[in-house]
Amino acid sequence: MTHLIKLLLAALVATSASFAYAASESNVRLMHAPVNRLDDESLQRGARNFVNYCLTCHSAKYMRYNRLTDLGLTDKQIADNLMFASDKIGQTMTVAMTEADGKAWFGNPPPDLSVESRIRGRDWLYSYLLGFYRDDKSATGWNNLVFPNVGMPNVLWELSGQDKLVETEYEDHEKAMGAAIAVKGLSALEPLPGAKVAVLHLEPGTPGAMTREQYEGFVTDLVNYLDYMAEPVRNHRIHLGLLVLLFLGVFFVFAYALKREYWKDLH
Ligand code: HEC
């Protein structure tokens, strides 16, 4: 009997673990993005990171610069720090590169990132930006554990440093899964010929200008901003919701006092 229970439990653990894998593409175990969309300072830093490092190739054509006043920035701060000279404050975040150029230069044009977070999700974006590694076989010299053979180079490599891919072979899926779960950070499974399975993960190679923690913080802010940009009004909804709850809390005290007052005479 206990044997049967053990077997059932093992099956349960195995299926739930494989569900975690099945939820993402290409057998990658995504990292959790520790973002907080109510943290205005993180969003401001994220907006700065975005315009400095991403807006050269990617547009955000549904996002207006002056919307950034939501994050506590003034029009002047936005104009001085986040905009290229020719842009007007009411304009959306567009780029000069045409889609045809993008396709010619990178194989695939860099897609608009306005609502990318709703398409891919926060954890995917966070893992993607931490998933670049050096690959001399690729045209850009880079590859990505989350998006294999991506056309985008690791544009943040001066900050992040250059990670390298480490591949370890295991004789079966179960052993590989155990090893992949034990990896701190990103890992992926890759079936090999026969029953063998390889576990892929990244290890630091040449260091960049930032420590690992600083770089993860940089990416967190950036993903936080991408997530905010995909639905800016959500922050208003959250604030409004909190206000309503606060009102109901205060109202309850008065309602309860009134009820006590009415019922006093009846008891
Ligand atoms: C040098 C140009 C360039 C820069 C700068 C750049 N990217 Fe990219 N990016 C690309 C290209 C090209 C692709 C398309 C790759 C493909 O489909 O193979 C891409 C794809 C992506 C994707 C995947 C889109 C999808 O869902 O298919 C994301 C997310 C992304 N970039 C985010 C960023 C972020 C965030 C930054 C800023 C840190 C950035 N990119 C900076 C060129 C660039």
Residue 1: the pLDDT is: 52
pTM of the model: 0.84
10 found inside a domain: no
- Residue 147 domain flag: yes
CA dihedral 81, 84, 85, 91 (to 10 degrees): -100
Cβ of residue 122 lying under 6 Å from some atom of ligand 1:
no
- The predicted-structure confidence for 75-122, as pLDDT tens digits, reads as follows 999 988 888 755 788 888 888 788 888 888 888 899 999 999 999 999
Q: Domain total for the chain?
A: 1
In a domain, 70, yes or no: yes
Q: What is the DSSP string of 36-58?
A: -TT-HHHHHHHHHHHHHHTTTT-
Determine if ligand 1 sits within 6 Å of the CB of residue 53: yes
Q: Answer yes or no: is 3 within a domain.
A: no
- Asked if 144 and 155 count as a contact pair (C-beta separation under 8 A), the reply is no
Query: What is the rounded average pLDDT of the residues 190-206?
Result: 93
Does residue 238 fall inside a structural domain?
Answer: yes
Asked if residue 151 belongs to a domain, the reply is yes
Q: Identify the CATH number of the domain in which residue 138 sits.
A: 1.10.760.10
**pLDDT tens by residue, 243-267:** 999 999 999 999 999 999 999 888 6
- For 166, the domain range is 26-264
User: Does ligand 1 come within 6 angstroms of the Cβ of 57?
Assistant: yes
Please give the Cα distance from 1 to 242 (Å, whole number): 51
**b/e burial code for range 163-186 (CB count within 10 A of at least 16 → b):** beeeeeebeeeeebbebbeebebb
pLDDT in tens, 10-37: 655 555 544 444 444 458 999 999 999 9
Tell me the pLDDT band of 42, cut-offs 50, 70 and 90. Answer: very high
Which residue has the least CA distance to atom 1 on ligand 1? Answer: 57
Whether 116 is in a domain gets the answer yes
User: Does residue 98 lie within any of the structural domains?
Assistant: yes
Candidate of 25, 58, 98 to mutate for ligand 1, largest count of ligand atoms within 8 Å of Cβ: 58
Integer Cα distance of 191 and 177 in angstroms: 11
**b/e sequence 227-241, b meaning 16+ C-beta within 10 Å:** bbbbebeebeeeeee
